[in-house]
């Protein structure tokens, strides 16, 4: 089969690799219908992660089961399935507590397992990992469904961790796919006035509004803090959803959360630190982390399948898998929000 391979910084290409084979009875083989490039893949692409040369890559895919082991009893060949960005056994102490993201037998796609940017994926613990669709929803639904593997489930984790209950003022920091999906999630939970702090890309700002943002701001750092002081008459935001992960973004998020407010973070941390004394003085609650995406997929399938949300609009480019190098280049240069790739 063909799959994307990371050779080294700024060097990813489609290569012929061994076909996956079932090695344990709990596994299944999935033929990928669509995969995606994630903002967090760019850390690998830029050489800022620990991925070894010749690693497989990609952790967002949906597909069809083509083979299954004897213990994958909940699945049948032909089932259309959504894979969360991490596999999990569904039965360990952490899975039992609702945290498949911390599964003791879990792992990420790519690295030493098959990646989502390829033709086929061997799926460990397939019955527990994969969410199967009862009816085949048609190809139009593919982009929306594909977001459930990561970005929409991660945006939902931000909003759910912040315990949005209805009517709160919400700031979303970041206008990448996760930040944009966090706007949808905040709206689903009944957020009040929602402000996105993004950049100067008109396409991202338009999508933020389409997803339900009331306002899109371009200020950063001290200027963003000043803007929030003005917008909220000195109070600060009830809820802040941090969807970047940088130190600067985290500092801004903390500075614009009102005393007693809630800050949830889902951006992959790179350099962010929390000064506990600041939390002490403000009574801000900090929550969030790696999304237990498997837990959110069932819940998000309802609004996706009834057409009330369309997170798939974050895919501003579709390319064949053979153009995987171009897909990374476009994402790296921020010339597109997110790329959907099809084998």
Q: Does residue 253 bind Zn ion (CB under 5 A)?
A: no
Whole-number minimum distance, CB 268 to Zn ion, in Å?
22
Q: With CB under 5 A as the contact rule, which of the stretches 93-101, 228-236, 256-264, 275-283 interacts with Zn ion?
A: 93-101
Other CB atoms within a 10 A radius of the CB of residue 70 amount to 9
Q: Does residue 126 bind Zn ion (CB under 5 A)?
A: no
Classify residue 106 as left (phi > 0), alpha (psi -120 to 50) or beta: beta
Q: With CB under 5 A as the contact rule, which of the stretches 101-109, 142-150, 168-176, 269-277 interacts with Zn ion?
A: 101-109
Q: Does residue 103 bind Zn ion (CB under 5 A)?
A: yes
Q: Does residue 36 bind Zn ion (CB under 5 A)?
A: no
Q: Judge contact between 149 and 85, C-beta under 8 A.
A: yes
Name residues whose C-beta falls within 8 Å of residue 214's C-beta, 6 or more positions apart in sequence. Answer: 193, 194, 195
Q: How many positions of this chain bind Zn ion (CB under 5 A)?
A: 5
Name the residue nearer to Zn ion (CB basis): 109 or 120. Answer: 109
Q: Does residue 89 bind Zn ion (CB under 5 A)?
A: yes
Whole-number minimum distance, CB 116 to Zn ion, in Å?
20
Contacts with Zn ion in 165-204 (CB under 5 A)? none
Whole-number minimum distance, CB 96 to Zn ion, in Å?
8
Whole-number minimum distance, CB 294 to Zn ion, in Å?
10
Exposure string of 183-192, with b = 16+ CB inside 10 Å and e = fewer, is: bbbbbbbebe
Name the residue nearer to Zn ion (CB basis): 99 or 315. Answer: 99
Whole-number minimum distance, CB 95 to Zn ion, in Å?
3
Report d(CA 37, CA 32) in Å as an integer: 14
Residue 208's Cβ-side half-sphere holds a number of Cα atoms within 13 Å equal to: 27
Report d(CA 239, CA 331) in Å as an integer: 29
Whole-number minimum distance, CB 99 to Zn ion, in Å?
8
Report d(CA 122, CA 118) in Å as an integer: 11
Given 88, 153, 257, 336, the residue binding Zn ion (CB under 5 A): 88
Tokens of 4: 């994307």
Name the residue nearer to Zn ion (CB basis): 75 or 103. Answer: 103
Report d(CA 136, CA 152) in Å as an integer: 20
Q: Which residues bind Zn ion (CB under 5 A)?
A: 88-89, 92, 95, 103
């Amino acid at each position: 089969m063909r799959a994307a391979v990371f050779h080294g910084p700024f060097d990813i290409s489609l290569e012929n690799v061994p076909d996956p084979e079932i090695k344990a009875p709990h596994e299944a083989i999935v033929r990928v219908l669509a995969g995606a490039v994630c903002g967090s893949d760019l850390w690998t692409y830029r050489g800022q992660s620990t991925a070894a040369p010749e690693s497989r890559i990609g952790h967002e895919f949906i597909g069809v089961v083509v083979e299954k082991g004897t213990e994958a009893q909940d699945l049948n060949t032909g089932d259309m399935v959504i894979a969360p960005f991490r596999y999990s056994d569904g039965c360990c102490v952490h899975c039992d507590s609702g945290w498949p993201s911390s599964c003791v037998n879990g792992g990420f796609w790519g690295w030493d397992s098959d990646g989502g940017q390829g033709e086929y994926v061997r799926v460990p613990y397939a019955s527990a990992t994969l969410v199967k669709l009862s009816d085949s929803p048609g190809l139009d639904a593919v982009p929306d469904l594909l977001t459930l593997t990561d970005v929409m489930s991660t945006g939902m984790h931000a909003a759910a961790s912040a315990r949005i209950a209805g009517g709160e003022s919400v700031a979303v920091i970041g206008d990448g796919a996760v930040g944009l999906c966090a706007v949808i999630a905040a709206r689903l939970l009944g957020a009040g006035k929602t402000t996105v702090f993004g950049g100067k890309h008109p396409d991202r700002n338009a999508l933020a509004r389409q997803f339900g943002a009331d306002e899109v701001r371009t200020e950063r750092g001290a200027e963003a803090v000043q803007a929030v002081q003005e917008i909220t008459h000195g109070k600060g935001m009830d809820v802040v959803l941090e969807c970047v992960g940088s130190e600067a973004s985290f500092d801004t998020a903390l500075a614009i959360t009102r005393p007693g407010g809630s800050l949830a973070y889902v951006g992959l941390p790179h350099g962010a630190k929390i000064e506990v004394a600041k939390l002490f003085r403000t009574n801000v609650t900090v929550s969030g982390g790696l999304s237990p995406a498997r837990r959110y997929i069932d819940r998000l399938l309802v609004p996706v399948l009834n057409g009330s949300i369309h997170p798939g609009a974050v895919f501003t480019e579709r390319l064949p898998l053979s153009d995987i190098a171009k897909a990374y280049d476009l994402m790296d240069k921020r010339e597109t929000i997110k790329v959907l790739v099809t084998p």
